[in-house]
Amino acid sequence: MGKKARNAAGRLKAAGRKIDKSQLPPPPVPPEEELGSAKILDEPALPGSGFKVLDSEGYDDGGVADLSLLIDLEDSVQRRRRGHNEYFQALKADLLPRAVKGPMANMTRREQKVSLAQLLFSEDDDCEDKGPSEVYVEQVDGEEDAATIKHRAERLSQARAALRLSLLLRESACTSLSLSELCKRKLTFSGKAGAIDALRCADKALEISGPDFWDGDDIAIEAEDDLKPDPKYEKNATVPGLASATVLKLLPIRVSHLCQRSALLQRGNALAALGREKDARKSYESVFPLLVDEPRCARVDWERHSLRVNIGNTHSREGNYELADKEFKIAERLGTDHCDREGGSGKDGKSMMSFVKRSRAFALRRAGKIDEARSLLKEVLDQQIKDNLEAEKTKAEEAKKKAEEADAKAKEVADAILAKKGVKGK
């Protein structure tokens, strides 16, 4: 029951802690009913031809529902864990996990989650890894300029900040994704020299997304700028993984699968950087069972495409061009499907085929077929120049159209003003 307030001030304070249950939103749906972006929509949720599902009348949501599951802005997991009414009491009393020190101290838990999403998913226009492709390419050659190194260092620092914030908010899915991003950005910043650290991050991301327990302190050290792992550190794994029976009562298995897909792909890239081609191939191939029931849309086909090209590149680096080309043909077919089938994203299809041709050209060069490689690479460059010219032409036409619309609107406003004054516009 608790103690009753003895004076007016105490009673006023107690009344302030009470919540009006009639103003609360409805409870979250059961976890098994949350399908994320696997659910095909009857109508497009966002504009753009890239969201059509191939061989279907439905539309993809562009990954919006999956993002909602991962970030959980509505705090569905906390509401299920604590109970609906108890959650809002804790929210009003500011008892929910959030950063209470530093620049985010004055932000609500929800606002901090929005900032976390920006750290994890936002991309600058000049970002090197901007775009849907996750094909591993060695980007560090020692000749980078100061601006490039600074930009890569900032991206790496953002991933560390995302990891720290994920741990403070106690969001396991975001913690796993932060580690996958750390893996990716370590490779971009340090190349092969940072591959061991990158692999460790990917392994920890998989640990969180799995059915076993994980150690929060062991994860937190990855957010340190000057990391020196203790080889004698003994784990104290007390946090249940995203695929554990306990957690699956609070969120759908899809969250675990999404985190595994990201971690396995980045793990394969780290292994490829270490020259462990067979292990990299195994990591890439482990993603395919998680994609079986995913829709045939540009968003997911880019994931399938990246995996196939990465697998082909592992064969190429091992000197087996025939097996590499077999994977390239599968990746190429994904692109041609979007160009040829009704509802496909032609722009994405062309980009997929261009990526394949570039990878095939490098594979041909490794196989000693220099003339074929040179011819294919020239074809890629010619097509890129053509596409750039078309894009510039389209951009100019759109700008001209907007200017004409603005002029027409201004004339319409001017005519209306003149009409009010009894003067007929010319």
What are 159-210's pLDDT values in tens digits? 999 999 999 999 999 999 999 999 999 999 999 999 999 999 999 999 999 9
| CA gap 133, 163 in Å, rounded | 23
**pLDDT score at 132:** 87
**pLDDT score at 291:** 96
**pLDDT score at 425:** 46
Q: What is the pLDDT of residues 116-142, one digit of tens each?
A: 999 998 876 666 667 788 999 988 888
Predicted TM-score (pTM) of the model is 0.87
Q: What is the mean pLDDT of the chain?
A: 89
Structure tokens at 77: 């997991």
Q: What is the pLDDT of residues 296-331, one digit of tens each?
A: 999 999 999 999 999 999 999 999 999 999 999 999
Q: Is the pLDDT of residue 389 over 80?
A: yes
- Work out the average pLDDT over 48-66: 83
- Work out the average pLDDT over 203-225: 96
